Amino acid sequence: MRIVIAGGHGKIALLLTRLAAGRGDTVVGLVRNPDHVQDVRDHGGDAVVLDLESAPAEQVAAALAGADAVVFAAGAGPGSGTARKETVDRDAAALLADAALVAGVRRHVQISAMGLDRADDPGMDAVFAVYLRAKDAAERDLRGRDLDWTILRPGRLTDDPAAGAVALAESVEPGAVSRADVAAVVLALLDDPGTAGLTLELVGGDTPVAEAVQSLPRTRAE
């Protein structure tokens, strides 16, 4: 499988690159900073320098040409202001979906976040509220597209080693999950076209990743 990852230098993206490349997949990470190309290569992938905050859809589509699947793993990251929450977490997600349609790449996994309905909670940090709304807008945009999409909402992310066991369903209790386990779940979802059309929540749990994905409701005949 040829996989293109937007936000290719992120922690989850690099872990996903290593997992996929390690089993023989071809992985291309889209990165904004040329200094990050070697890191992607060190994890077994290749990299294309592309700024998803400014590139036209046609340019992004060219980078997706020949892909079997795309993953949106980009994010403005901690410390960024409200403007970049919108230009990256919302607008870049829509741009990638636009480009996937142009390039004819139907399989699409978007990494989102749990708790998007908390944006208006009393005392919510203003910047984080914009982040939550941006992720929510990106999800709603993707659901309206003619793509084989799956949306994955991880809980609080940690850098712990992969446990190999998770709780994965349309709704789970809030909790934490390692980035390594998120990467493993993304790869398993990419392998399973029957999970298209699902919005899933993910935290650490007791079910092995492969079993957790296999037990999900099927959205289409296999």
Give the count of beta carbons closer than 10 Å to the beta carbon of residue 40.
Answer: 24
Structure tokens at 105: 């790449």
CA distance 221 to 211: 19
User: Which run of H or E residues covers position 98?
Assistant: helix 93-103
Give all strands (DSSP E) within the chain, no chain letters. 2-6, 26-31, 46-49, 69-72, 107-111, 148-154, 156-158, 165-169, 176-178, 199-204, 207-208
Active site annotation includes 131: yes
50: which DSSP letter?
A: -
* Active-site entry in 131, 133, 154, 200: 131
Q: Which residues are catalytic?
A: 131
